[in-house]
Structure 1
């Protein structure tokens, strides 16, 4: 019975990490359904992006209030993980505050953890008020109804509960240290929980031990639950922000990716010695599909983008089409892509690892043509995203499919392209008159 808590802890840890590993394998499999593409820019440029944007939170602080609150939560969860490491070691070996031998350094660490935990708790409360009391417009768009809205709130509740459990655990521990209880070595500084410990004055040693152990177990089990909740939540960006910014766009935002198959056709047309009527070789590969109609036509980087989306809505709030009442929401483009990819993944699992067409696709079943053609391609959404997500690339690939595979461009665009072909300009002017504007 002496080692029963240690055995139970190891089992809980194994189940939590095992389930997490399973979800990571599913995530990796789904992303690998996309096309493999070459990375943009050099490694140095990509590492620079990751250091500035993911680690340095460069684009978060563009909006100071939300940025500062996010930095507090970000630092809090990263630094407090040192405390999680101590809990895991203690849980496995039955020790208590294994890092106490660090002495004054440990005092500083625990004090820092406590101050950050309090700041995280305050930030979470402010975040909840911004969403639910102030009702900021970007959190109440149509795509944020149902699960996305509940998910955002549940994450805040989980974070708040974890911080309260951490401080409660420390408060009971501090009280036990003051009582000289066995196994509770006097170590650490407790600027926040020492104040909470005042409420526990007069409690018996057995009551304090029960509170400390309960908070300890609930805290670590809550962390394991949160770790596995990430896969089903917008908070997956905690894990994916770093690889996403590393693989993010480096070239100028206005640069357009050319299709290799189209480049080859143009090169053939421009080659005076080539025979444009020559039949393709028998073993020649069929031409690649132009653009994208489903998630398998997108690149792995675009699918990684979809899973990394934080649903913060900065892209949608900056989108001029959305601001003028158009149906387009760049955030919805990413959410729809992720939802369709998850649907495909579930059907692959149901079919024992193979994909069978299901009569559905990203185009029309998730993203409408009206949304795609509402985009002005201004890149405001790309510039606004704090983790280098590129909704415009998905929109443009799906437009390519409509134009080049289905000849389904809007009438206005067909008229413009016809004018360019016939008149050398998008307007219906005679070629002789196309430069008359400069004389006016």
Structure 2
């Protein structure tokens, strides 16, 4: 018996899975660069969110038509790749359709897979038309130029190739076609190969089989470089999402520590913090290391769908702010920091850059109205607003770089106890007006 194909298959599988695991470890390392935050409360609500939002795609259905198409692609791709288990066993042990012994159940599953494959092809075609012909506004923003735009189309092409290879593989499997158990779609493709010799058909089947599994492994590893990493990260991201009411802001630990210091009569007011460079001693965030790990997970999970930006009132009125760009910039800077650590043997060497100014400008941050529209619209529970707020805090409390109008308001509150500029003795004069 010739074991060479099995050995080659095992090597390809090991390389593909090994490279994927290596990149997953990088992602986990980069996310852990963020500051600590506790998201272990109310586990029942978190599990519910994960099943409804990540698995059930509940928030997608605010726009029913693209949601339905996306659901078809999502379910089709995930379910069809359940067949990957059979392919792996066949590849490692030299068997052929090892699960075909399940009889009618096997036929039902493969038949369902074939129908889903066709539906996926139709949905992908519609998505391609919307992105490249109709050119929906949220797919043409400036932040989607270059690689981001190519990435979206690359995934669509991947889907077409993988689904087509799956159907061709089934259509050219002579034994599968003769069994007439599950070949609901492929039976209509099979006649296209009638002019081929049996040997030629077997060659086509083998080529389609090998390309299908290699394509899946390439796709798996492409996820690390793609916005479609959300296929995996949407689940932890929705689980660890903020359960507080929208609009409720968290208290900064650094501010709390300062207040405690002020209230402690034994504390030395002139004592410097133990580590002034640590994120816990900083007010707000200027770089990715100052953000918490959930915010960094948000950045990696961003689908770049643009629903946040299309619903942003600031963006809709011509302001520079794009919540999608905030997430993409955060991810790009995090990747840059990660590569710095890799190049310097596990240690980050200051590179003179930061998320603030080098990637995100104060103009973008101050354009935000804090309305939470972006958070409400995100289909995977990402919060661009939390990053914006933390970077604003840094501008105000570390750099005193708030806009003039805001500085005026804060000065009035400090001096007059109100946002308006008038004497405190005149505050109740309105009550005397007839």
- TM-score bin (small chain): over 0.9
1:282 positional shift: 8.9
Q: What is aligned with 2:50?
A: 50
Number of the residue aligned with 1:355:
348
CA distance in 2, matches of 1:99, 1:187: 15
User: How far apart are the structure 2 equivalents of 1:118 and 1:417?
Assistant: 60
What SS does the corresponding residue of 1:59 show, helix, strand or coil?
helix
> Which is further off, 159-168 or 72-81?
72-81
In structure 1, the partner of 2:71 is 71
**What secondary structure, in the 3-state scheme, does the structure 2 residue paired with 1:133 have?**
helix
Separation in 2 of the partners of 1:232 and 1:293? 25
How many Å apart are 1:153 and its aligned residue? 0.5
TM-score under structure 1 normalisation? 0.94
Map of 1:305 onto structure 2: 298
Residue 40 (structure 1) shift: 6.2
Which residue does the alignment assign to 2:215?
222
Equivalent residue for 2:27? 27
d(CA) in 2 for partners of 1:84 and 1:282?
58
Q: Following the alignment from structure 1 to structure 2, what is the Cα–Cα distance between the partners of residues 345 and 306?
A: 14
Aligned twin of 2:202: 209
**1:49 shift after superposition:** 1.1
Unaligned runs of 5+ residues in structure 1 are 181-185
**CA–CA separation in structure 2 for the residues paired with 1:434 and 1:279:** 34
Q: Residues of 1 paired with 2:427 and 2:36: CA distance?
A: 44
Give the C-alpha shift of residue 193 in structure 1: 1.1
Shift of 1:200: 1.7
Q: Pick which of 256-265 and 375-384 moved more.
A: 256-265
Asked if 2 retains the 8 angstrom alpha-carbon contact of 1:103 and 1:187, the reply is: no
Is residue 321–residue 328 contact of structure 1 (8 Å, CA) maintained in 2? yes
8 Å Cα contact 1:240/1:308 also seen in 2: yes
In the TM superposition, residue 260 of structure 1 has moved relative to its aligned partner by 2.2
Query: 1:40 touches 1:249 (CA, 8 Å); kept in 2?
Result: no
Contact 2:273/2:281 (8 A) holds in 1: no
Distance apart, 1:203 and its partner CA: 2.0
Could you say if the C-alpha distance between residues 281 and 292 of structure 1 is closer, same or farther in structure 2, counting changes exceeding 3 Å?
A: closer
Which residue in 2 is equivalent to 1:250?
243
Contact 1:100 1:187 survives alignment (8 Å): no
* C-alpha deviation, 1:242, in angstroms: 0.2
SS class of match (2:9): helix
- Structure 2 counterpart of 1:419: 412
- Aligned partners of 1:52, 1:251: CA distance in 2, in Å? 18
Q: CA deviation at 1:155?
A: 0.5
**Matching residue within 286, 290, 294 for 2:283:** 290
CA-based RMSD of the aligned residues comes to 1.9
Equivalent pairs counted in the alignment come to 430
Q: 1:275 Cα shift?
A: 2.3
- Please give the alpha-carbon distance, in whole angstroms, between the structure 2 residues aligned to 1:201 and 1:84: 28
Deviation at 1:429, TM superposition (A): 3.0
Deviations 1:309-337 (A, max 9, x none): 00000000010000000000000000000
Shift of 1:424: 2.4
Please report how far the alpha carbon of residue 138 of structure 1 lies from its aligned counterpart in structure 2 after TM superposition: 0.3
Question: Are residues 1:373 and 2:366 paired?
Answer: yes
CA contact (8 A) 2:374 2:384 kept: yes
* Residue deviations 1:293-321 (CA, integer Å, cap 9, x gap): 11111111010000000000000001000
1:191 Cα deviation after fit: 1.4
User: Could you tell me how far 1:82 is from its partner in structure 2?
Assistant: 1.5
Aligned to 1:333: 326
| Matching residue of 1:183 | none
C-alpha contact 1:336 1:362 (8 A) present in aligned 2 = yes
CA–CA distance in 2 between the matches of 1:176 and 1:85? 20
User: What CA distance in whole angstroms lies between the structure 1 residues aligned with 2:275 and 2:300?
Assistant: 32
Encode CA deviations 1:56-83: one digit per residue, 9 max, x unaligned.
1110111101110111111112211221
Paired residues of 2:176 and 2:183 also in contact (CA < 8 A): no
Q: Distance in 2 between matches of 1:418 and 1:40?
A: 39
For residues 13-45 of structure 1, the C-alpha deviation after alignment (integer angstroms, 9 at most, x for no partner) is 000001001101111111111111111641112
Distance 2:423 2:66 in 1: 54
TM-score (norm 2): 0.95
CA distance in 2, matches of 1:276, 1:407: 29
Q: 1:282 to 1:322 in 2, by over 3 A?
A: closer
Mapped to 2, the partners of 1:65 and 1:263 lie a distance apart of: 47
Contact 1:166 1:215 in 2 (8 A): yes
Q: Aligned pair in 2 of structure 1 residues 107, 275: CA closer, same or farther (>3 Å)?
A: same
Unaligned runs of 5+ in 2: none
Q: Is the 8 A contact 2:139 2:306 kept in 1?
A: yes
Alignment of 1:386-405 (within 5 A): 386-405=379-398
Question: Matched residue of 2:148: which SS?
Answer: helix
Contact 1:176/1:209, CA 8 A, preserved across alignment: no
Q: Which residue number in structure 2 is paired with residue 131 of structure 1?
A: 131
Contact 1:40 1:250 in 2 (8 A): no
CA shift digits 1:371-429 (9 cap, x unpaired): 01100000000010000101001101111111111111111100011112222222223
